[in-house]
Amino acid sequence: MARLPPFELADQSGQQRAFPTGRPALLCFLKEECPTCVLSAPLVRAATEAFGGAVDVWAISQDEDGAQLARSFGLAGPLLADSALRVSYRYGLETVPTVILADGTGEELRRVGGFDRAAWRELFGELARLAGAPEPSFDWDAYPAARPGCGSRSVEPGIAERLAAEAEGSPLRARRIEVGARDDPFEFLFDQSVTDGLPVVPPTPERVLRMLAGTRRDPQSVVAVVPPSMGVATVEKVAINAVMAGCRPEYLPVVIAALEAVCTERFNVHGVLATTHFVGPVLIVNGPIRDRIGMNYRENALGQGNRANATIGRALQLVVRNVGGGRPGEIDRAVLGTPGKLGFCFAEHEARSRWEPLHVERGFRPEDSTVTAFAGCAPTPIVDQFSRSAASLATSYGLSLMAAGHPRQVGYGEVVVVVPPEHVDTIARDGWTKQQLREAIQAATARPARELARDEHCAVGLTPAEVERLGPGTPVPKFRAAEAIHLVVAGGEAGKFAAWIDNWAGGAGSAMTTVKIEE
Amino acid sequence: MQILDPTDERRPIERRLAARPARLSGTVALLDISKPRGDVLIDRLAERLRERLPDVELRRYRKPAFSRPAPEDLRREVLRDCGFVIEALAD
């Protein structure tokens, strides 16, 4: 017989019990929902009472609530908690009850799995010899000759893999899936409904381990609980989806921060996902990480072609899909959606801006790296190649932004305006601050209330009562406040084209949310 | 290849089955995997199918060895000529 690995477990009073103890020990592994354990419990109790003076008789519970087990089994001696199942796993348990007799050094003398009357009788004989105590009288005939045990919790599917990974020191705990030798892994992943419609990189353990090297966070720490299914996204789960999206390890901290940002009440990713509206998360990255991971904020900043831009937003959406259960046509009820729901992520061209970057405006330090999540739609162009003053540009922006949601919709919430370098230069020549520009845009959107009224041509607009209350000639601006207009600089050097990004249904359901990226 | 589950692990992993037509028609492959007495079972199945579905054409195929996957050529042939496969084994 082999020497059993030492262990330390807490008993029902919280006292740590270390094995081996120097005395002979009877270790009885039990779980509550096991009729054979119930059958064996009186024998454990009898062993405690008869031999407890010289032998450590320990019941070891696989249940979360060991106290309940002690009550229902009427146990008298120490009851140790192995709900983490580490000892059960290391001791190679396949069934419960399993009763192991060991000597004072931890050498295994005898092991009984399930219920076996003859084996228990022999065990009692040996215990009596070891304890120098008489065998208790026992109505052995009241017991059946044998009963099979139940499966040890340590060999249940899912748990066994986790325990194996723990034992080999692997940080990975996710369920492992074998792809058949004849299966195409890409097709297999489509079949599992875990892609966004594009192929994903198969998340092999090796790739996920490499991805995890991108963060210092514990792989099992929880990043967020992800709606709509309230799935628990550990760092490992985020890393798996980041692999699938095509991320490099150094992007992982951005994906983690983005997930934290959207899984807040403020951002409300549940609503963003479930709505019939177009929206998806739009991510704007600021700070030094932009250059460290090679993000694009220059030509084609909102377009294709840059790995970080393309995969960070995609990874976030894959987590929402796979961990959160947010699948189109199910909880995602978008009537049309938007191409950005595959992933929409870009960075601000901070060096080319004459203003504070977005994250500094929002209370972070310039040297912080942040991700800002905005529930947004597709970018809409503002084509203005003629303006040579800040005021003229502001008017162009305002006229264009009137179309947000609907040209007659007012009291509007947040929008993002992406200002290209050529427009930055035009505005800078007049020395305008961001706030001046915002207020001028807001002013340019204002129309007399009567022009915003619903009429015989179109049912959308202010009601007659609203027009009356405001005063028919009173100018009514588009936005509830100029501050709702967020100005972000990005784009190539040549081209006087700006873009605005509309919000979700007027902006009441979600608010722009910025989170610092932990590197 | 082994991959890690990207989901919250609430759903079991499964291969997706091909869509099942409402009725059997056209050509049906009866594939004997070469286990002993598999042919007895397939003979009986063929007999019953002929009684119940006289318009269905039945074609017999046989894998060279039960312990190995069907050869590529055989799989292609079945795929090309048949809309259904009934694979039967016995012991």
Q: Quick one: how far is CA A270 from the chain centroid?
A: 13
> Is the residue at A299 inside a domain?
yes
Out of B4, B9, B13, the one facing A203 most closely (by C-beta) is B4
In a mutational test of the B interface, the residue from A200, A237, A318, A320 whose CB has the highest number of chain B CBs within 10 Å is A237
> What is the Cα–Cα distance from A12 to A65, expressed in whole angstroms?
10
- Predicted pLDDT at A139: 86
> Do A194 and B4 make contact, defined as CB atoms within 8 angstroms?
no
> Is the residue at A483 inside a domain?
no
| A305 and A266 belong to one structural domain | yes
> What is the Cα–Cα distance from A208 to B33, expressed in whole angstroms?
39
> Do A179 and B2 make contact, defined as CB atoms within 8 angstroms?
yes
Specify which residues A416 forms β-bridges with. Answer: A486, A501
Residues whose CB is less than 8 angstroms from the CB of residue B47 and which lie 6 or more positions away in sequence, other chains included:
none
Instruction: Count CA within 13 A, CB hemisphere, residue A409.
Output: 12
- Predicted pLDDT at A158: 66
**Domain total of chain A:** 2
CATH code at A29?
A: 3.40.30.10
Out of B7, B8, B16, the one facing A191 most closely (by C-beta) is B16
Domain, as residue range, for A68: 7-167
H-only helix segments in A156-234: 159-167, 185-191, 205-212
> What is the Cα–Cα distance from A356 to B57, expressed in whole angstroms?
76
* Count of Cβ atoms closer than 10 Å to residue A72 Cβ: 12
> Is the residue at A353 inside a domain?
no
| A239 and A142 belong to one structural domain | no
- Is any Cβ of chain B less than 8 angstroms from the Cβ of A231? yes
- Predicted pLDDT at A63: 86
Residue in A with minimal Cα distance to B3:
A204
What strands, in cross-sheet order, belong to the sheet with B27-32?
B57-62, B27-32, B84-88
- Predicted pLDDT at A314: 98
Specify which residues A102 forms β-bridges with. Answer: A25, A108
Out of B6, B16, B69, the one facing A194 most closely (by C-beta) is B6
| A156 and A272 belong to one structural domain | no
Q: What value does the mean pLDDT take over residues B35-60?
A: 91
The interface predicted TM-score (ipTM) is: 0.71
Instruction: Count CA within 13 A, CB hemisphere, residue A518.
Output: 11
The per-residue DSSP string of A460-512 comes to -SB-HHHHHHH-TTSEE-SBS-GGGEEEEE---SS--EEEEE--SGGGTS---
> How far separated are the first and last CA of chain B, in Å rounded?
31
| A23 and A91 belong to one structural domain | yes
| Nearest-CA distance A272 → chain B (Å) | 20
> Is the residue at A212 inside a domain?
yes
> What is the Cα–Cα distance from A159 to A175, expressed in whole angstroms?
9
> Is the residue at A518 inside a domain?
no
- From A288, A307, A338, give the residue that closes a domain: A338
Residues whose CB is less than 8 angstroms from the CB of residue A174 and which lie 6 or more positions away in sequence, other chains included:
A208, A236, A237, A240, B4, B5, B6, B9
Query: HEC string of A252-272?
Result: HHHHHHHHHHHCCCCCCHHHH
Contact in structure between A236 and A244 (CB atoms under 8 Å): no
| A205 and A315 belong to one structural domain | yes
| A104 and A133 belong to one structural domain | yes
**In chain B, which residues touch A (CB < 8 A)?**
1-10, 13, 15-16, 69
Out of B1, B8, B13, the one facing A192 most closely (by C-beta) is B13
Q: Using a CB-CB distance cutoff of 8 angstroms, which residues of chain A are in contact with residue B69?
A: 182
- Is any Cβ of chain B less than 8 angstroms from the Cβ of A387? no
* Measured CA distances, A363 to A357, A367, A516 (Å): 10, 12, 11
- Predicted pLDDT at A260: 98
Specify which residues A25 forms β-bridges with. Answer: A56, A102
| Nearest-CA distance B68 → chain A (Å) | 12
Task: For residue B76, report the phi and psi dihedrals to the nearest 5 degrees.
Answer: -65, -40
> Is the residue at A515 inside a domain?
no
- Predicted pLDDT at B16: 59
* pTM score: 0.71
Q: Examine residue A20 and say whether the peptide bond preceding it is cis (omega within 30 degrees of 0).
A: yes
Q: What value does the mean pLDDT take over residues B51-73?
A: 86
> What is the Cα–Cα distance from A120 to A179, expressed in whole angstroms?
45
Out of B3, B15, B69, the one facing A203 most closely (by C-beta) is B3
| A182 and A326 belong to one structural domain | yes
> Is the residue at A447 inside a domain?
no
| A140 and A200 belong to one structural domain | no
* Measured CA distances, A370 to A16, A212, A239, A287, A362 (Å): 45, 20, 19, 6, 10
- Predicted pLDDT at A197: 97
- Predicted pLDDT at B44: 93
| A11 and A159 belong to one structural domain | yes
- Is any Cβ of chain B less than 8 angstroms from the Cβ of A223? no
> B91 falls in which pLDDT band (50, 70, 90)?
low
Residues whose CB is less than 8 angstroms from the CB of residue A146 and which lie 6 or more positions away in sequence, other chains included:
A114, A115, A116, A117
| A132 and A229 belong to one structural domain | no
| Nearest-CA distance B12 → chain A (Å) | 10
| A12 and A99 belong to one structural domain | yes
* Count of Cβ atoms closer than 10 Å to residue A200 Cβ: 23
- From A123, A145, A167, give the residue that closes a domain: A167
- From A167, A192, A212, give the residue that closes a domain: A167
| A217 and A157 belong to one structural domain | no
Question: Which residues of chain A carry a pLDDT beneath 50?
Answer: none
> Is the residue at A374 inside a domain?
no
pLDDT 10s digits, A102-160: 999 999 999 999 999 999 999 999 999 989 888 888 888 999 998 888 889 988 866 77
